[in-house]
Copies of this chain bind each other. A is one copy, B any other.
Amino acid sequence: MESHETKYSNSVEEDYDINQDQAAVTRRIQRLSLHLNPISEPPVSSDRLQLLTCAGRAKINVSDEQLAKYLRGKHRDIQERVYEYFNAKPDLQTPLEISKDEHRELCMRQLVGLVREAGIRPFKYVVEDPVKYFAVVEAVGSVDMSLGIKLGVQYSLWGGSVLNLGTKKHKDKYFEGIDNMDYPGCFAMTELHHGSNVQGLQTIATFDPLRDEFIIDTPNDGAIKWWIGNAAVHGKFATVFAKLMLPTHDTKGVSDMGVHAFIVPIRDMKTHEVLPGIEIHDCGHKVGLNGVDNGALKFRSVRIPRDNLLNRFGDVSRDGKYTSSLPSINKRFAATLGELVGGRVGLAYSSVGVLKIAVTIAVRYSLLRQQFGPPKQPEISILDYQSQQHKLMPMLASTYAFHFATSYLVEKYAEMKKSRDEELVSDVHTLSAGLKAYVTSYTAKSLSTCREACGGHGYAAVNRFGSLRNDHDIFQTFEGDNTVLLQQVAVYLLKQYKEKFQGGTLTVTWNYLRESMNTYLSQPNPVTSRWEGEDHLRNPNFQLDAFRYRTSRLLQSVAFRLRKHSKTLGGFGAWNRCLNHLLTLAESHIESVILAKFIEAVRSCPDVSSRAALKLVCDLYALDRIWNDIGTYRNVDYVAPNKAKVI
Contact = CB atoms under 8 A, between A and B. Distances in A.
A569 B456 CA distance: 30
A477 B461 contact: no
Nearest to A50: B221
Contacts of A417: none
A254 interface: no
A632 B17 contact: yes
A564 to B, nearest CB: 8
B18 A584 contact: yes
B284 A374 contact: no
A285 B444 contact: no
Interface stretch (A7-15, A114-122, A240-248): A7-15
A580 interface: yes
Contacts of A631: 7, 18, 630-631, 634
B190 A456 contact: yes
Given A554-B17, A558-B17, A52 B193 contact: yes
Interface string A170-205: 000000000000000000001011111100100000
Contact of A386 (B22, B49, B390, B580): B580
Given A390-B580, A580-B386, A461 B286 contact: yes
Given A97-B99, A581-B22, A284 B460 contact: yes
Nearest to A579: B386
In this complex, the member of A194, A573, A579 whose beta carbon has the largest number of chain B beta carbons within 10 angstroms is: A579
A54 to B, nearest CB: 11
B455 A221 contact: no
Given A16-B636, A456-B478, 14 more contacts: A5-B561, A14-B557, A22-B579, A96-B284, A195-B371, A197-B372, A284-B460, A285-B460, A285-B462, A288-B466, A384-B576, A448-B473, A452-B473, A452-B476
Interface of A: 5, 7-8, 10, 12-20, 22-23, 26, 48-52, 96-97, 99-100, 190, 192-197, 200, 221-222, 224, 226-227, 281, 283-288, 370-375, 379, 384-387, 390, 444-445, 448, 451-452, 455-456, 458-462, 465-466, 469-470, 473-474, 476-478, 481-483, 521, 553-554, 556-558, 560-561, 570-573, 576-581, 583-584, 629-632, 634-636
